[in-house]
Chains A and B, each alone.
Chain A
Amino acid sequence: MTTIMALILILFASMLLAGGRQGFVSFLGLIFNFGIVFISVVLIAMGFPYLIVTLINAVIILVVSIYFGNEQGRNADVAFITALLVVGLLVILIIPVQHWAQVQGFGVENTEDLEGLSLQLGVRFLDVSCAMTILSCLGAVAEAAVAVATGLTELQAHNHQISDAELRRTGTRVGKEIVGTAFNTLFFGFYGELLGLFIWFSRLHYSFGMVLNDKIFVSQLIMTLISAIGVVLTIPVTIGIVIYQHHHQPATTANDEHRLK
């Protein structure tokens, strides 16, 4: 048995142990998401337009991440609309930032890995970088959107006459917890991913300035900061959508409709 197969079985067992049926559905969601990410990179390598491939697959990943393994209802709908809006904003940020930072492809630290490989390819690695950054932020945005939306819709279900100010206050309070949570996840993920590189920097006595301008370091830092920005943006966008719906459709009927479903 390969290592990956064994670990997949253990992950399956522990998700089942921790979450029962919901754990099973989340596990399926992960496998499905992996398939989508893998197809994305293959399609981009085959020369399909990267932005179309990435955006379509991003929407699919958001659907899977938000509707799989969550109780479906108004909170999931709000979270999905929020996530779409935030990812849209992030894409508008990611593309110019990637052109500005020029972190596509490989750094001098990769030289050894590139031996014997042709770099005269028809694919623009700047596009690959944009696709990578867009797909990598989806998980963080989806997680934050679900958490804030659930907190707000629960509050609204308890009290239909709730004021905008109260919604804003609660949204910000839930948001604060989410930001603390997500930042730890994101930055520890960043350290874990780049541990080897940081040791490399230290062994070869890179100066602070060299690290700050290093292609790989900046590339990964951009991914992490974009996800962090996505998480923070999720808070006002969710609050805005909940308040908008609160005013434009009576809360009672909206809730009843979903109960009937």
Chain B
Amino acid sequence: MVRKRPAVQVKWLTIIIIVLVGGVAWLFTRYNASFYQQTVAQVEQVHNGHREKTTDEFQNKAYQQNQNLRLRILNGNRKGELVTTTNQFTTAQATDMEYRPGQQVFVHLNAKKHQKSNEMITGFKRDSVVVFLIWLTVTLLLVILKLRGSMALLSLVINAVLFFCAVQLDVRTNFNPIWLFAGLAVIFTVVTAFLIFGKSQETVVTIMATLGGTAAALLIAVFVLTATNQRGMNFEMMDYVTQQRLPLFYAGSMIGALGAIMDLSADITSSLFAIYREEPQLTFWELFLNARKIGRSIMGPLINVLFLIFVASTFPMMVLFLKNGNSWGYAYSMIMTLGIVQSLISGIGISLTVPITGLLAGGVCEMKVLK
């Protein structure tokens, strides 16, 4: 009983600190308007107009509604001023939205001061949500895994910085993005493997297996896409393209699969070395079969993770296409094919990683015996 008390007190202190950090971060995002170059305003009052029914050429029944908004400007030289503007939104709210009091928005102010209704809302302020979710993730990670969770965070931060640098390089130079991001993949792999295993044989095997699996996936992708002339793939609907499509697609597929491939090879490597340490008399072939046994149960769920994310991300465009009088088949071929090809490439990389890791790890273990 006596021992329980300090534990409870520590817990209370932790909870208070967590809530305090979250509260301060949230308050900061509510009052950080002065950090923005764009003008930020808060919706103070909303007057809703009446709903107008609309019907489009595909018999979609919807409504649109007007709002009169009163906004308070939160930064810049017109800080504190109240302005009025109008807003129109539709049932779908696909590119517009219904505003409510208390929400913060970005506005573009007209140069002339007294031209009242021309204040245009240019965007919605979402930093509070982002900060909230990051706070929640980090908190859960640290509460549930204690300090051990911080390694995952560290590797996340390092990888994000590396990725940012690679994007900058891509924009500022004329390197082929495939080579640029292949280089990034190598650095990612080396850094992450060292974070997991430190300086050891496992690190070497993991790095080699990851690069092998990723390279195999990429080579197969290039080969198949070239051989089949990309038949059935619709690159014209690829999103956010500012440079040549195909190299960008390959680079994206490679980076997308890399994390999963790295995890799989790290998992197999660490289990295989552990088995080998317990039973050093195992032959190369027995080790290889063990790798397959470990790999095959992780492989399916891992492919599934990426597959569900890549396919679910196409939902908004799919709904839009289907509601615009397109057939299932046409919507599928225009919108979903790229995501599916990307999942297939990562799936091939993930499954080939299993035998590749088995060969490498088995080989390295056996070579040590020969010495």
Contacts from A to B (Cβ < 8 Å):
1-8, 10-11, 14-15, 17-20, 22-23, 25-27, 29-30, 33-34, 37-38, 41-42, 44-46, 61, 65, 68-71, 97, 100-106, 109-110, 113-114, 117-126, 128-129, 131-133, 135-136, 138-140, 142-143, 146-147, 172, 175-177, 179-189, 191-200, 202-203, 207, 209-210, 212-216, 218, 220-223, 225-229, 232-233, 235-236
Contact = CB atoms under 8 A, between A and B. Distances in A.
Given A17-B351, A135-B308, A176-B149, A7 B345 contact: yes
Which range contains the number of B residues in contact with the other chain?
35 or more
Contacts of A225: 133-134, 136-137
Nearest to A127: B319
A20 B291 CA distance: 13
Contacts of B341: 3-4, 7
Contacts, number: 415
B263 A185 contact: yes
Contacts of B230: 3
A128 B260 CA distance: 27
Interface of B: 35-38, 54-58, 60-62, 64, 90-95, 97, 106, 123-130, 132-134, 136-137, 140-141, 144-146, 148-149, 151-152, 155-156, 159-160, 163, 167-168, 170-171, 181, 188, 192, 196, 220-221, 224-225, 227-228, 230-233, 237-243, 248, 251-260, 262-263, 266-267, 292, 295-324, 328, 332, 336-337, 340-342, 344-345, 347-348, 351-355
Given A186-B309, A236-B144, 10 more contacts: A10-B220, A10-B348, A118-B323, A119-B90, A121-B92, A183-B156, A192-B256, A193-B252, A215-B126, A233-B140
Nearest to B255: A192
A18 B352 contact: yes
Contacts of B159: 184, 187-188
B223 to A, nearest CB: 10
A20 B296 contact: yes
Contacts of A6: 224, 227-228
B308 A192 contact: no
A109 B238 CA distance: 12
A185 B305 contact: yes
Contacts of B344: 4, 7-8, 10-11
A80 to B, nearest CB: 13
Contacts of B106: 213
Find the residue from A181, A188, A207 having the highest chain B CB count within 10 A. Answer: A188
Given A23-B296, A132-B316, A189 B260 contact: yes
A39 to B, nearest CB: 10
B94 A229 contact: no
Nearest to B98: A102
A260 B312 CA distance: 39
A3 B231 contact: yes
A37 B311 contact: yes
